[in-house]
Structure 1
């Protein structure tokens, strides 16, 4: 899913007065999308399978938009300076990687379903898309699973028990739901290898059931995330804000407190200064170190 509620305010969801409201909308749209996703898989069990695929497309499109919006919000929080991620492990693994990976996974699944609709036309020339569609329907959930693993890399310096319970109630359903999607997609490839199905019939029953269970877990995780964001915005959770990192360095640079120089560059400059040869000045026909000249003159 999208990045979970953070222990620091480094997101820019809009103007300062509308920031909290924008985040509520962001999380709420995700909950709505996974509910539509669950409804799409349920419709797949009926005779109107095409409408089920349309619902899946709509749900995946909303998930894609939510994650892209979340990614832009986090990049805007650091003025889109990607090199700053070297200072902040959570910024790279969670705030940047999670929405990016989730968005790409949603896009791959959308393309896979679109390829199934193209095959539904029944032309032999389109059957070569079948293999690509099945691969995309596996790659998308795999990226979702990777994003769920990255979501577990969030760091809180100090947090009370309520925060930890809500954290686990969000992470575990997302992780298990994504895993069910991966297992269902792999089993679907195995099932369809022994059949001559094409088009929308390539989504087998087992994949549909795995999708139902996985979507249910995503709904549970989304609702828990909504509760967590609400409590964090209302200040009901005792949580120490993260100190340091890329965002704080950027703020210090804006205030003129510290130059934004990488530690590696500092070490290289220090090493080069130590290894540089001393300047020499000729005195009385011989070469004398410059520092000795200064000492002698004093």
Structure 2
């Protein structure tokens, strides 16, 4: 999952105070979603396993919201100008592609859980949803793994060891957790292939236990991400050389070419002084009323 504490020189989706608050809320909301996800898998061993599916749906909805917020925040840094991605590999592969892939994976996993919940709620008349649910439970974590691999491509120029440790401590738990979810869904699909199970019986114990382990890894990654966001806010100017080049630099250069009229006016006065001398400059700066009184 992409984090807003990135290597970009400026995050231009709001004022500094609102940006910092948004990054803290973003990190805290994802951490809360992982806790809800753990409770959802643990509730599968309770007397009311349907409540666990509801908690999973809530957690996945929060994860989708967090990734959409990341996507919009990164695009705001380039004024939503998609052609600038041609000149910035990291922007295209990490800051744009990863939130999109993570949203797709979370959405597919959400729909798979929703199909299982509908079948458990409505009875065994929805047999067609079984195959779709098992397939979606596999496709979602596959997208998570792909997004985690892309997320490891984030680059910092001349960053010290402390920053790199913070970066990897977030990426590695997300990658391990995504792999656990994918393996659990694949094993569950093979277990259910030769058995006639319906409803909540489609979600075997192997899937639940690996889901708990994967959710714990997501929780560890979310916890270290909170630490990373806090540290990056504090040491951003001291230990990290911001990324140069790419889409944001081109956008800033394009803005600097259009000089405002307020800045151009003093330059015109200086040119008048150089060409016509001090008298012409004084006449140019003399108000019209003073000229009439002088006459």
Change (3 A) 1:31 1:13: farther
Q: Distance in 1 between matches of 2:4 and 2:256?
A: 29
Q: Distance in 2 between matches of 1:38 and 1:46?
A: 13
SS in 2 for 1:157: coil
Conserved in 2, the CA contact under 8 Å of 1:13 and 1:22? no
Establish whether residue 57 from structure 1 lines up as the match of residue 57 from structure 2: yes
Q: Distance in 1 between matches of 2:148 and 2:3?
A: 10
Q: Distance in 2 between matches of 1:241 and 1:12?
A: 15
Show structure 1 runs of 5+ residues with no match.
258-298
Deviation at 1:9, TM superposition (A): 4.0
Change (3 A) 1:10 1:93: farther
Aligned residue in 1 for 2:6: 6
Q: How does 1:59-208 map to 2 (within 5 A)?
A: 59-120=59-120, 121-124=122-125, 126-208=126-208
Q: Which structure features the higher share of helix residues? A: 2
Deviation at 1:46, TM superposition (A): 1.9
Q: Distance in 2 between matches of 1:43 and 1:12?
A: 42
Establish whether residue 211 from structure 1 lines up as the match of residue 197 from structure 2: no
Give me the TM-score of the superposition, normalised by structure 1. Answer: 0.83
Give me the TM-score of the superposition, normalised by structure 2. Answer: 0.83
Conserved in 2, the CA contact under 8 Å of 1:10 and 1:78? no
Q: Distance in 2 between matches of 1:253 and 1:79?
A: 12
Q: Distance in 2 between matches of 1:72 and 1:100?
A: 11
Q: Distance in 1 between matches of 2:80 and 2:240?
A: 27
SS in 2 for 1:194: coil
Deviation at 1:209, TM superposition (A): 0.5
Q: Distance in 1 between matches of 2:119 and 2:10?
A: 45
Q: How many residue pairs align between the two structures?
A: 257
Show structure 2 runs of 5+ residues with no match.
259-295
Establish whether residue 241 from structure 1 lines up as the match of residue 278 from structure 2: no
Conserved in 2, the CA contact under 8 Å of 1:7 and 1:156? yes
Conserved in 2, the CA contact under 8 Å of 1:3 and 1:94? no
Q: Distance in 2 between matches of 1:60 and 1:196?
A: 28
| CA RMSD, 1 decimal | 1.6
SS in 2 for 1:7: coil
Deviation at 1:194, TM superposition (A): 2.3
Deviation at 1:39, TM superposition (A): 1.1
Aligned residue in 1 for 2:283: none
SS in 2 for 1:193: coil
Q: Distance in 2 between matches of 1:25 and 1:132?
A: 35
Q: Distance in 2 between matches of 1:3 and 1:96?
A: 11
